[in-house]
Structures are given as structure tokens and as C-alpha cells.
Structure 1
């Protein structure tokens, strides 16, 4: 019952956070120079004053900011993200076409960063102040300091141009029609280099957090008690140390969900992936306000959902969380 109450409070707290994000971004975008009509006129190569006035009236750009904000929030209540003037179709449809690529990229990068970072962190903690710890910590520092765009460009040069092992970009092969398992493997082949690129920085963070957490937990009284009872070292590490050391790692997933989503903008641009990050960049350049707000709305929902699941998982790993809230 306490677990369900915790879940309900987390969901209720997410509503004002989402509202603040949307209203703040909407008002901030009003300060940016240019609008949708300016982008459309530039694409058409120019237009007369009458056409420009008609376009501004059609897209309700002559209304006050408060009226447009109220209209936008009212449409959101009805799950209407509006119409994209640049892409010529509903924003929901545009986002639905781009969302799978971003979800696959984020999910695979997070899985690699978390699992490999956890493994390397455990190895470094178990071999502290020895050569494995020194090597792993040095690699983590290098990965953390390396910009993702530079790593992506070097990956393209080495693995796509020089060795010709991996494709240099794209989500899947467009010269052949694949279905079923063949298409899944083709997408995985195309996403392998972008996934590794996005996961490097986060892998470095996870391994350092896991190393520090393991070292801290290893000094606790319950670890000494478990060893005094005759428990094997593998059992002590897996059943006692690892579960408690995972708590900061799980918390970090929720905190870095938004950061990883932001990092996908650079990775998707470098590798020409049709995802939300690249779509957001195109919407900013083309002043497509409805599309940009729709991306922020979906991204905020995604980050809130990830943090909600992290809170529930955290409560499962540490029952004291649900008992005290």
C-alpha cells in the first residue's frame, strides 16, 4: 500500500513540473527572432505583403502571446500537438515517425553504459590500487573527457571509411527491402557505432560511481558480519555489496535521462539518424514552433516516465524509501 502511495505522489508531482517546462519554453521561444512564416517565405524564395499577412493570420501569429499560450495548453489537454507548417502534417505524426530511432539509440546506449560501467566499476573496486584499477580509471577519465562529436567522427573515419566494417550513418539500408529478423539485424548494424558513441561518456560516469559505491559499501558493518558468518566472497559481493552499491547507479539513470536525450542531438546529427534530436535541430533552424513544442512535450514525458520507473525501482531495492514516504 505504501508502495502504491509513493507511485501516486510521484505522478502527481510530475504534472506541475511538465506544465512549468512547457510554459517556460513557450515564453522563451517568443523572444527568439523569426517565426514559422519567415521560414516558409524563405523556403518559397519570397512573398508579397498580402500573402505574408494571410499566413500570419492563418497561423494565428497576430494573436497575443497569452492567447496563443492558452490555445496551446487547451489543445494539449485534448492531446492535440498541432500542425507542422514545415513538414505539412500533424506534429504527432512527425514525432511518431522519429521517436523509434531515438528510443532505440537511448535504450541501447543506456544498457551498454550501465552494464559495462557496473562491471568495470566492480572489477576496479575489487582490485583497488592495482593495475586493473589504474587501467580502468584511466580509461574512464579518457572517455569522460572525450567529446561525443569527436568520438563519433573518429569512429566514422576508422570503422566506416578506413576499415569499412560499419556504415557511416543512417538508420537502416535504403537500397534493399528487408523484413523480420533481417531488418532487425540491419538496424542493429547501423546503430552500433552511434550507440557506442553516445554511451562512452555515461559509461565513464557509471564505472566511477560504481567503483566509489563498492568501496564505500565494503567498509560497512553488515559486510564484515556476513564474512564473519562464513559467507563466501562471491556471495558477499553479489548478495550484499552489489545490491546496496547499485542504489546510486539507479538514481543516476533518472538524473541523466534528460542529459542522454540532449546528447542524442549531437549523435543523431553526426550519424544522420532520423530521431527526435535531429528533428529538434531542424525545427529550431526552420522556426517550426509547434514541432519544437511537441518534441519538448514528448521528451519531458519520456524523462518523467524514466524517473518514475527509477523511483519505483529504488523503492524496491531499498524498502526504507517506501516506508518513510
Structure 2
């Protein structure tokens, strides 16, 4: 196992290097720069140009990239032009909110998806299966940001059951029980909104696996030996059908982190996604490049995590 992790980590290094170059070049290809629109137009253009030279914005891209990488390896991701603070500190303030939102979404997703997938697969072609399948079709067709807006309007503004912004009520003392409950209350609506859409892939995958496994030879053999239906489903069908779900787990985490970009913006939830979109609008390149690089590294680690989980769930599978 550890040899596999070491080998895959070695393969990941050139992937991360290539990703960092692409992210840096794409960010620099955006119109304008970090000073565009942030300086009083009445200021002498020569002074603005002098500031660009001081910040190294006029240097060749490879010099800027090398400075950025060497500083990043030392834990310095640069200075945010918008917030006037180190990017590492800025991301550190937001990453906890994104983590808890992603975790809550993941828990709700599996609480919904696994029971629905089991019912739909075990009792396929019944009324319950048709209703669940209809729900998944609607989920596949519904854009996440449109569905989130409807959820915000219905349960946030119309009924007023949930807050419409922020991650905690003002005036709460950090660490207190009321503070924790307020945190959970604020993330429940955005997490549920995202989970109701992201769950459809897991439901369909589990349903297909159960239906396919039901017709395997070892299932017919178990029935021929007189095993009960509950034992057949629990010990044979369900256990084997959950393997793809386990393999998909790492990618699920990566997808949730990326999906929070829209959710956090719609619900005004102060996480990395909301920070990412607002930084793009003001061309805060140091923040944008850092966040995209972190998302990319998370995707690569998610692929590794999925492979490792699959090898642990099914020892017959060996990662090469």
C-alpha cells in the first residue's frame, strides 16, 4: 500500500507542475491586471506604471511564474490586492467554512442516495423505482445554480425558515454551543440544495450496479443453496454493488469542493468559492491562481484517494 502511495505521489509531481503553469498562464491572459479599475483615474499614468514595475507586473511571464512558485513552496502565496493581506491568511479564514459545507453536503448526499439507490435497484420496474428514477432525471436536467436560487427563494425568502446569507449569526461567541448550532443552521440550506442535485449520480450508479449484480451467477448459486433473500442482498448483492460507490468517493469530494463555488456565491456563504468568484471580478490574480491550484491539487488527490479506497474495499484489486 505504501509503495503504491509513493509511486502515485511521484507521478503526481509533474501533473501539479503542469497544472501550475497552465493556471498561471490562464490567469495572466485575462484582460487587465490587478491594478485595473482599482486606482483613481486622475492619478498620473506614469505613477501607475511605476507601481506596475514595482510589483513585477511587467516582467516576462516566466520570471513572474518562477517568483510565484518559489514563494509558494515557502508557504507564501502572495499578497491580495483587494484585501491587502497575505493570500495564505485569507484562504485560511475561508477554508474551514468550505470544508464544513462540503462535509455536510457529502453526509446528506449519502443519507439520501444509498437508501434510494437500494430501493430503486432491489425493486426495479415498480412504482417506487419509477418515482426515484424520475427524480434522478430531473436532477440531471436541473442546473445546480438554478435549483439553488429556487431553494433560496422558497425556504430563505418566502417561508423564512433559513438564513439567506452568512455562516453564523452576528454576536455569537466562538466555541459556544449556540455558535455551533448557528453554524449548522446556516449551512443546512446550501448543503441540502447541493446534495439534492449531486445525489442523483450516486443513486443511478448504485441502482445500475444492484440490477446488474442480481443476475450474476454467484447470486443464482446462493438462491439454489437456499439462502434467504435478505442474506443474498446484504451479503452478496449490496456488498458487491457498493464497490463503485467507494471508488467514486474521492471524485465526489472533489466535485463537492468545486460545486461550492456557485453555492457559496448564491447563498453569500463566506467560503473559498465565494472568494474565488469575487476575486475574478476584481482581477485579484494572486488569489485566483492560488485557489485554482488548490482545487486542481484536490482533484488529483481525489483520484488517488478513490484508487486507495477501492483497493482496501476489494483486496482482489491491486493498483499498478
TM bucket, shorter chain: over 0.9
1:1-325 matches, cutoff 5 A: 3-41=1-39, 44=40, 46-177=42-173, 179-322=175-318, 325=320
Q: In the alignment, is the contact (CA less than 8 A) between 1:125 and 1:215 conserved in 2?
A: yes
Give the distance between the partners of 1:301 and 1:97, measured in 2 at CA: 19
Q: In the alignment, is the contact (CA less than 8 A) between 1:39 and 1:287 conserved in 2?
A: no
**1:36 aligns to what SS in structure 2?**
coil
Unpaired runs of 5+ residues, structure 2, are none
Q: In the alignment, is the contact (CA less than 8 A) between 1:160 and 1:166 conserved in 2?
A: yes
Give the distance between the partners of 1:69 and 1:102, measured in 2 at CA: 28
Q: In the alignment, is the contact (CA less than 8 A) between 2:248 and 2:306 conserved in 1?
A: no
**2:202 aligns to what SS in structure 1?**
helix
Give the distance between the partners of 2:178 and 2:214, measured in 1 at CA: 46
Cα drift, residue 102 of structure 1: 1.0
Query: Does the C-alpha gap of structure 1 residues 208 and 62 become closer, same or farther in structure 2, counting only changes over 3 Å?
Result: same
Q: In the alignment, is the contact (CA less than 8 A) between 1:255 and 1:307 conserved in 2?
A: yes
Segment drifting more, 221-230 vs 60-69: 221-230
Give the distance between the partners of 1:215 and 1:168, measured in 2 at CA: 41
Please report the TM-score for the alignment, with normalisation by the length of structure 1.
0.92
Give the distance between the partners of 1:131 and 1:46, measured in 2 at CA: 69
**2:38 aligns to what SS in structure 1?**
helix
Compute the RMSD of aligned alpha carbons: 1.8
**2:35 aligns to what SS in structure 1?**
helix
Cα drift, residue 178 of structure 1: 5.5
Q: In the alignment, is the contact (CA less than 8 A) between 2:172 and 2:178 conserved in 1?
A: no
Q: In the alignment, is the contact (CA less than 8 A) between 1:106 and 1:260 conserved in 2?
A: yes
Number of aligned residue pairs? 320
Cα deviation 1:207-250 (Å, max 9, x = unaligned): 01110011111111222223333333222222222222122223
